Structure 1
Amino acid sequence: MSQFPVIAIVDDDEGIRDALSDLLAVSGFASLAYDGAASFLSEYPARRFDCLITDIRMPGMTGIELIELLHDTGQSLPTVILTSIVDERAHARSAALGAHAWLTKPVTDERLLAALASAIHTQLPHSDFKP
């Protein structure tokens, strides 16, 4: 089992997945990247994650549909939305479903890492983790 927080990255853009994986690795996180909601769901909840980073627009199931499914099935996985779209309805819906942050691409490393740390501390209240 990893001693680092484990982050699931769900984004259909391979470059984004690779960049996020690299950033997380040098920032003290472990991560697994998925090209869409279906590939993520094939491993979740059997695999433990401390947080989910997801895009909104993806082929098949959208990021909003993914967090709706998790919410509707009682899964409490802290979620950070990382997207290039500006959609107030989707933003409001993600907040209503409990998403911890909505970040618009491009985002600074510092802002993303702060959102992850906040989401993880919410999930793990006694954690000493600090990025």
Structure 2
Amino acid sequence: MDDDASMCDAIAELVEVLDFRSERFLSALRFLEELEPERFDCLVSDVRMPGMDGFELGRRASAIAPGLPIIFVSSFDDEVTRSQAARVGAAAFLCKPVDADALLENLNAALDRG
């Protein structure tokens, strides 16, 4: 999920190239409206978005679907941002532009795929 449509498409296409299915959401609220336990295997989300940031989205998503792995992506790679991601229980934190190998490794780890 990313509020920037082109970035959202780029990450979703990368996920698909890595042989995973993806659904695109341009707002946190829209994703939460669609979220049900067991519907999604993993959430890949930007950190900074208007309205609701990725961390609040992560907290709310975890309340609806406990155990849902979350991978945050951000242009902001600083200790405060990484610390917030860890507090939300992120499976991973990746920097934009997202490296395909790093995304694949972290998706496999989040989904318990060797």
Matched, 1:56 2:50: no
Q: 1:68-125, CA deviations, whole angstroms, 9 ceiling, x for partnerless residues?
A: 223345622100001101242232122122101111111211111111111111xxxx
Matched, 1:76 2:67: yes
Letter paired with 1:44: L
Hey, which of these two has a bigger chunk of helix by percent? 2
Counterpart of 1:108? Answer: 99
Q: Percent identity?
A: 39
Deviates most, 82-91 or 60-69: 82-91
**So what's the TM-score if we normalise by structure 1?**
0.78
Structure 1 gaps, min length 5: 1-9, 122-128
8 Å Cα contact 1:80/1:101 also seen in 2: yes
Hey, which of these two has a bigger chunk of strand by percent? 1
Counterpart of 2:29? Answer: 38
**So what's the TM-score if we normalise by structure 2?**
0.88
Alignment size in residue pairs: 114
Structure 2 gaps, min length 5: none
How much is the aligned-residue C-alpha RMSD, in angstroms?
Answer: 1.8
Larger Rg: 1
Letter paired with 1:101: A
Matched, 1:86 2:86: no
